[in-house]
Amino acid sequence: MTMPPAPLGGTEPLIDPHAHFHTPLTNRSDWARYNASRLEMGERIGIRCHVASILGSWGATSPTYFSSPHDQTRANDFMFGLADQHADRVRAFVAVNPNFTAHALAEIERGMGRGAVGIKLAAARRTTDFGLLDEIGAAAAQYGVPVLQHIWQHRRREWPNQEASDGVELARLAVRHPKATFLLAHIGGGGDWAHTNPAVLEVPNIVMDFSGSGIDRGMIDEALRWVGAKRLLWACDLTLCTGLTKLRALAYTGASPDDIADMRWRNAVRIFPAGTFDTALARALEAA
């Protein structure tokens, strides 16, 4: 019997807490191929669980970062179904647009009933708009789930078609909700990652993920130096290839084996609701 090749990322458990999928309602005709390839290549890398969201119609019938309630409900339905279909390796965020506050809160409640394990916020409203975001933060604390917040590293100007926030702005929201955990998305995306480290240093309920297309040498090393391994998560976002690059870089940062295990999977187990990854980790142990 031919044994499958060893995972490119090693046999130790690996969780991607920042993943995305597509639906038939997006503007990609190859949506099914994309979804299948994510699962296939995730398996090749060694990802045991993808915690994923879908941002409305991805721009097909409402803007990606300002999805309509109808589009976001349909996207969440598809995401919940995908998590049910692949229960051994996919978990769902419930994605919401806080501009539609009543819908967002109802969708969060519905998502928790469908097994969602976190809340996904894109760039629909700056995190310093507390009148809208405070209710999302309170819901996250109530349900005991993290909020994955799209972040532009050091936003120095307005960007079209989005209300992007940076680490300074997310810190202001996180301080207001100390019982909620906020995942600061993609330090490898949006520019000046060095600006983000001191911005979140004294806000312990912010955890940063490595995802994004940036693979700068020193990026992970500096994050480790500023906030330590327990506040960092390995992740991919849209590009698994850059995720693999950063995974392989971990061994060259000076991080201990325990620190690397924290970043690969143990922090995710701690941050997400109890039992979120039980099946995925059983698969990892079986493979090992």
pLDDT tens string 226-279: 999 999 999 999 999 999 999 999 999 999 999 999 999 999 999 999 999 999
- We report the CATH number of the domain holding residue 63 as 3.20.20.140
Sign of CA dihedral 172, 276, 20, 260: positive
What domain count does the chain have? 1
* Per-residue model confidence as pLDDT tens digits over 164-201: 999 999 999 999 999 999 999 999 987 899 999 999 99
* Per-residue model confidence as pLDDT tens digits over 102-111: 999 999 999 9
At 153 the pLDDT is 93
Note whether residue 9 is domain-resident.
Answer: no
β strands within the chain, DSSP E: 15-20, 49-53, 90-96, 118-121, 147-149, 182-184, 206-209, 232-233
Note whether residue 78 is domain-resident.
Answer: yes
Note whether residue 276 is domain-resident.
Answer: yes
At 160 the pLDDT is 87
In the predicted structure, residue 17 carries a pLDDT above the cut 90? yes
Q: Which has the closest alpha carbon to 182: 156, 164, 198, 200?
A: 200
Q: Which domain range does residue 141 map to?
A: 15-287
* Residue 148, CA distances (Å) to 137, 158, 221, 252, 284 in order: 11, 21, 22, 27, 25
Question: What are the residues whose beta carbons fall under 8 Å from the beta carbon of 4, sequence distance 6 or more?
Answer: none
pLDDT range class, residue 123, cuts 50, 70, 90: very high
Note whether residue 99 is domain-resident.
Answer: yes
At 284 the pLDDT is 74
Residue listed under structure tokens 């100390």 = 178
Mean pLDDT, to the nearest integer, of 18-27?
A: 95
* Per-residue model confidence as pLDDT tens digits over 131-164: 999 999 999 999 999 999 999 999 888 888 899 9
At 1 the pLDDT is 58
In the predicted structure, residue 51 carries a pLDDT above the cut 90? yes
Note whether residue 4 is domain-resident.
Answer: no
How far apart are alpha carbons 76 and 94 in whole angstroms? Answer: 6
At 99 the pLDDT is 97
In the predicted structure, residue 288 carries a pLDDT above the cut 90? no
Note whether residue 5 is domain-resident.
Answer: no
Residue type, 219: M
Note whether residue 200 is domain-resident.
Answer: yes
How far apart are alpha carbons 248 and 250 in whole angstroms? Answer: 5
Note whether residue 10 is domain-resident.
Answer: no
